[in-house]
Amino acid sequence: MKIAILGTGYVGLSTGVCLSQIGHQVTCLDINEQKIVQLRKGISPIYEPGLDDLLTMNMAAGKLKFTTSQPEALANAEIIIVAVGTPQGDDGAADLSYLVQASKDISSYINHDTIIVIKSTVPVGTNDFIKKLIEDYCGFPVKMVSNPEFLRQGSAIDDTLKADRIIIGSENEEAASKIQKMYRPLNVEVIITSTKSAEMIKYASNAFLATKISYINEIANLCEAVGADVQDVARGMGKDKRIGEEFLYAGIGYGGSCFPKDVKALLHTAGVNGVKFPLLKETIAINDFQREVLVAKVLKRFGGLKGKKIAMLGLAFKPETDDMREAPSIPIAAALTKYGAEVVAYDPVATDNARKIIGDSIKYAGSIDEAVHEADAVLIVTEWKEVKSIDVAEMLAKMKEPIIFDGRNCFPEETIRACGSVEYYPIGKPAIII
């Protein structure tokens, strides 16, 4: 099938690469010229494991193209997939301005048979609103499909090629069946629903996962108060199939480009529809509190931070991505510098993106060794493999004081106890002070 994708971000690019991999002819369109110039050279503008190989392979096979030209991408497309950003607006609702512009762009080039697929995360009712908008511009009825995306950054390619499910929401049977056919080579279970249900499935899923994280973080805080170990508790809970093991990792809260904005957008949708949804308010409040837990522990241990060198390991909002959107490292860096600490951060891939947001208020190291050299304490912010596989004793030997605040519970108790003299402050577990 001839497919055009609008937006070559984490979702659009991963989708484009995977659809070309399963045999479709894909043209990816973006308004960001720099991205397209890079992509045409086979260079991915984002870090995503496995993406580069599939990108170059499918470009070489002539199945994947990149352009900034709307007529080139849209004029002959059978299917147009919209994957532009829907960031958080000032009032908490999703900002649909990119989507509205993309829809206007589309309306100039579609014909009667083109199917428009909204993959961006959009509030319930948006597909209907976009349908009307496009029809008002182009003057004929269009076929819409809501096809929300569930990939996780850091495993986007695997999540797309081996998805748990594909949601297809449409009021047009022919369009739904064509999109089902488009995905058939993936051999993934397809759930067909109304457009509104498909839109709701995406928000309900993300808000549920965010709530699961806030729940285990609240349990972690209680574990600390009563002397229990949240990792043991989570293991015990997760073996119950009704609960499941995923998203039961206590830490410093969720971040990233989706959970924070999607929870707030769902709360906004509830509000405008007269539904209070206090559970979501608590999910957000617990997460805001959890982002401050690590700094509170540092302050409790040191009193003031003037003249202290703090090494921050990890900047990205989670491992295997260079995305800094809503990363807990941002408020943590701001708080530490506000209290006078000298912060030296290390991240394997997110440093350039972090510098654009955090700026020069902190220093950036090229290695873990450089970051921890003569540090008064280490803060673990992102659980990168490189961080988890560190030789803790060796790291401590390079520091001024052997103090670790672990926001991601990276190290087993035996590893820490084997280090000799150490102060180790994890989340939701007793501290180890030897």
Ligand X SMILES: NC(=O)c1ccc[n+]([C@@H]2O[C@H](COP(=O)([O-])OP(=O)(O)OC[C@H]3O[C@@H](n4cnc5c(N)ncnc54)[C@H](O)[C@@H]3O)[C@@H](O)[C@H]2O)c1
252 binds ligand X, rule: CB under 6 A:
no
Residue 340, C-beta contacts closer than 8 angstroms, at least 6 positions apart: 304, 305, 306, 307, 308
- Name the residue nearer to ligand X (CB basis): 73 or 419: 73
Q: Identity (one letter) of the amino acid at 301? A: R
What CA dihedral angle connects 115, 117, 122 and 124, to 10 degrees? Answer: 50
Nearer to ligand X, 36 or 371 (CB): 36
Cite the beta strand spans of 190-261 per DSSP E: 190-193
Catalytic residue, candidates 28, 223, 258, 410:
258
Stretches 25-33, 188-196, 347-355, 421-429: which one binds ligand X (CB under 6 A)?
A: 25-33
Residue with tokens 């995905």: 183
By the rule CB under 6 A, 30 interacts with ligand X: yes
The number of helices, as runs of H, and strands, as runs of E, in the chain is: 19, 15
Q: Is 264 in the site for ligand X (CB under 6 A)?
A: no
Binding segment (CB under 6 A) for ligand X, from list 57-65, 148-156, 212-220, 290-298: 148-156
**Given the complex with ligand X, which of 109 and 346 has the nearer CB atom?**
109
**Count of CB atoms within 10 A of residue 430's CB?**
14
Distances (CA, A) of 350 to 347, 355, 369: 6, 9, 17
Q: For 292, which DSSP code?
A: T
Establish if 103 lies at the interface with ligand X (CB under 6 A).
no
How many residues bind ligand X, per CB under 6 A?
27
Angle between the N-to-C axes of helices 126-138 and 97-107, in degrees from 0 to 180, rounded to the nearest 10: 30
The structure tokens listed for 322 are 């260079």
Cα Rg of the chain (Å, integer): 23
Say whether residue 160 binds ligand X (CB under 6 A): no
Distance CA 7, CA 128 (A): 21
Look up 258 and say whether it is catalytic: yes
> For residue 430, what are the β-bridge partners?
none
Minimum distance, C-beta of residue 123 to ligand X, in the bound complex (Å): 11
Is-contact 199 125, C-beta < 8 A? yes
The residue range among 98-106, 283-291, 296-304, 347-355 that interacts with ligand X, by the rule CB under 6 A, is 98-106
Stretch that binds ligand X, among 7-15, 107-115, 307-315, 392-400 (CB under 6 A): 7-15
Q: Does residue 123 bind ligand X (CB under 6 A)?
A: no
Residue closer to ligand X (CB basis): 83 or 375: 83
Q: Provide the b/e sequence for 162-182 (b: ≥16 CB within 10 Å).
A: ebeebbbbbbbeebbebbeeb
154 binds ligand X (CB under 6 A): no
User: Any contact of residue 83 with ligand X (CB under 6 A)?
Assistant: yes
Among 4, 11, 252, 336, binds ligand X (CB under 6 A): 11
Task: Give the closest residue to 158 by CA, choosing from 42, 21, 6.
Answer: 21
Contact pick of 24, 35, 297, 429 for ligand X (by CB under 6 A): 35
- 29 near ligand X, judged by CB under 6 A: yes
Question: Considering the rule CB under 6 A, would residue 153 count as an interface residue with ligand X?
Answer: yes
7 near ligand X, judged by CB under 6 A: yes
Which listed residue (88, 107, 120, 127) binds ligand X by CB under 6 A? Answer: 120
What does the alpha-carbon distance between residue 422 and residue 49 come to, in Å, rounded to a whole number? 35
Shortest distance, CB of residue 364 to ligand X, whole angstroms? 23
Q: Could you give phi then psi for residue 280, rounded to 5 degrees?
A: -70, -35
Which residue has the closest beta carbon to ligand X? Answer: 9
Which residue among 3, 8, 295, 372 contacts ligand X (CB under 6 A)? 8
**Cα–Cα distances in angstroms (integers) from residue 387 to residues 90, 216, 245, in the given order:** 36, 23, 23
Query: Applying CB under 6 A, which residues contact ligand X?
Result: 6-12, 29-32, 35, 83-86, 98, 101-102, 105, 120-121, 149, 151, 153, 257-258
Active-site residue list: 258
